[in-house]
Structure 1
């Protein structure tokens, strides 16, 4: 093969996406303080100038990584609900318990998510994105609750409570060495759900 034929210039969208994914990896490995133009570009295998070609700076790259990560989680939740069939209770339980399995229950995802959480109170853009992503998650729970119990007056607060429960259990499972198993977490969510509704 000719050496010129083996060279392929990456598509601009692919290069941008590789920087987004590299940003998420850097956040997981180094935290916010260790995530820089240099570390992101090294993780993506590109020259440092390329990040500034696609993003205004590291903050914008982090925001895009948060949006991408949120979309990955959302897709995993939607897939779990789709596999659950048509029963409203099964669909709601699938949505709630999907956080306890890969790809959501993952140490690297947790580390990335913790970096996003740490930025939420100090970075207005990340804070707004956090509100949007968590709002969509709670809205998904609320919609599934209302499909199960139409007209339930406290569906919003039930969604808030279930979100807090899911986050706590997901955090423990993703950290490793949780004092409970994934199956116990799922059973606990089911008991809470029945008590709330």
Structure 2
């Protein structure tokens, strides 16, 4: 395991470096192997400095999980936020971003799998997961509503929420299968499968490029 070289950093930057080191250690060693000592070595700091920022390992893991979930959600939201794009393009970009790197890579899956069991047993993990899910759902809901209005279709909030829940479930399933066994989807890439499936949920409204 490589060790980062020491450099002076501000409070916020140092805390972020420790969170990054925590994620690196969990990805390499798992939750049990990612000890405070290992994390300190990875970050190039002392255990005493870690205690300045975090009360203990549990708090570090919670911060790392929050960082992981924010990164996954943020990548998709950022992809859909390009200026001048139509509502159709923004919704399509959002879906594609959830099924392409960096969201779909082995490291992200390993981290997610390491943390997810704690959602049912740790209230802080449960809160982080819930907030991340609701933020993702809200972004998707807004994209769906804008797309429907662009297509001169009714955008009832209840219907948009139901569509967002269904599309999120579809994305989650494809993300999990594709990240575990991506070689099974070489003939038809996951984004194309997702777009075709979402179009069906949207009553045949097109998201893929028109020919």
TM band (smaller chain) = 0.7 to 0.9
Pick closer, same or farther for the CA change 1:84–1:112 going to 2, 3 Å.
Answer: farther
Return 53-62 or 73-82, whichever deviates more: 73-82
Question: Mind listing any 5+ residue stretches in structure 2 that lack a counterpart?
Answer: 1-5, 149-154, 203-211
Q: Does 2:192 align with 1:187?
A: yes
Pick closer, same or farther for the CA change 1:154–1:44 going to 2, 3 Å.
Answer: same
Listed as ranges, the matches of 1:73-112 within 5 Å are 73-83=72-82, 85-112=84-111
Listed as ranges, the matches of 1:13-24 within 5 Å are 13-24=12-23
Count of residue pairs brought into register by the alignment: 191
Listed as ranges, the matches of 1:29-40 within 5 Å are 29-40=28-39
Any conservation in 1 of the 2:99–2:175 contact (CA below 8 Å)? yes
Listed as ranges, the matches of 1:1-197 within 5 Å are 9-83=8-82, 85-149=84-148, 150-151=155-156, 153-181=158-186, 184-197=189-202
Q: CA deviation at 1:186?
A: 1.4
Q: TM-score, normalised by structure 1?
A: 0.87
CA distance in 2 between counterparts of 1:181 and 1:169 reads 13
Which whole-Å deviations, capped at 9, do the CAs of 1:78-133 have from their partners, x for residues lacking one? Answer: 33112384321221111111022222122111111112212111111011100001
Q: TM-score, normalised by structure 2?
A: 0.81
Q: Which runs of 4+ in 1 moved over 4 A?
A: none
